[in-house]
């Protein structure tokens, strides 16, 4: 049996050398409620097509890696209550045992690389969780960025994380962190984390050239392109900070840990912002998809 299963659209795109953008599926199963999750996924795919590329939403259904989802598959995944949250450690087990799961940033990068897709759009990457000096809770996304050659477009690391420590780990691992169009490093819902980005680029063509240069140098790993949320949809850091602190205290009090932390925090911040964080999340994902399509076109 083939390891990867492509939709007819993706088969044609690969045969014709069309630009393709990978999309993760954890944001569908663990990041947003039904039916907004399906609507968001369809909007993001539409944005990529409008920008001249082909979307490839990646997921595992019944032990198969799907590169691109049919509408029926997307509908099923968006309503699956017990989908696994798949990363590097458990991707192979899910395939071997015929399970259904959504791919995190790390797992999506692995599958995209297998499929020959060089650009991936997501909301925000995982990173070093607050209190990691005690919990050792560090996302596998960071190691994946260091070893899998895919350019990842995100709105920075999720604002619920310890951003300074996340940056330090990325630097140690040799991952380029590139702010797009500004000097400030964005922080997911906010355009400015209060920190200056290590690198800045102002065009998709520059980012594509850097991606290719890394390959020529024989460097492993990808690039993190930190694309700020559109101004109109930003949630200021000063407003979010106390809400994030509240959600973190609640998670600690309830003993929530490991893979359950991020979904819990995102859900609580959605509640604490009366839904404003979800609208911002959708905006930033769509914005990242459009930039990723530009980069894919430049690479193609």
State the catalytic residues.
24, 158
Distance of CA 265 to the CA centre of its chain: 16
CB 211 within 8 A of CB 151: yes
The residues with which 167 forms a beta bridge, in sequence order, are none
Long-range own/partner contacts, residues 8-12 (CB < 8 A, 24 or more apart): 9/54, 9/68, 10/54, 10/56, 10/67, 10/68
């Amino acid at each position: 049996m083939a390891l990867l299963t492509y939709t007819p659209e993706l088969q044609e795109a690969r045969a014709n050398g069309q630009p393709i953008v990978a999309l993760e599926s954890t944001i569908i199963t663990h990041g947003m409620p039904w039916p907004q999750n399906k609507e968001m996924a369809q909007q993001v795919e539409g944005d990529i097509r409008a920008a001249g590329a082909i979307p490839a939403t990646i997921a595992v259904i019944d032990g198969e890696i799907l590169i691109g989802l049919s509408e029926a598959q997307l509908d099923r995944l968006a309503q699956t209550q017990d989908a696994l949250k798949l990363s590097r450690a458990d991707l192979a087990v899910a395939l071997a045992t015929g399970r259904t799961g959504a791919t995190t940033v790390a797992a999506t990068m692995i599958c995209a690389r297998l499929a020959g897709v060089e650009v991936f759009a997501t909301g925000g990457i995982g990173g070093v969780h607050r209190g990691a000096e005690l919990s050792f809770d560090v996302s596998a996304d960071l190691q994946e960025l260091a070893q899998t050659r895919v350019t990842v477009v995100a709105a920075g690391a999720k604002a619920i994380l310890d951003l300074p420590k996340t940056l330090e780990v990325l630097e140690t691992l040799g991952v380029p962190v590139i702010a797009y169009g500004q000097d400030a490093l964005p922080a997911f819902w906010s355009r400015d984390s209060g920190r200056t980005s290590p690198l800045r680029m102002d065009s998709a063509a520059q980012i594509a050239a850097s991606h290719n240069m890394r390959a020529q140098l024989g460097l492993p790993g990808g690039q993190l392109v930190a694309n700020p949320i559109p101004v109109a949809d930003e949630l200021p850091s000063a407003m979010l900070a106390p809400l994030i602190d509240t959600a973190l205290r609640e998670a600690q009090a309830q003993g929530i840990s490991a893979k359950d932390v991020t979904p819990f925090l995102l859900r609580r911040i959605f509640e604490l912002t009366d839904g404003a964080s979800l609208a911002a999340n959708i905006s930033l994902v769509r914005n990242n998809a459009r930039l990723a399509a530009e980069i894919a076109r430049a690479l193609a």
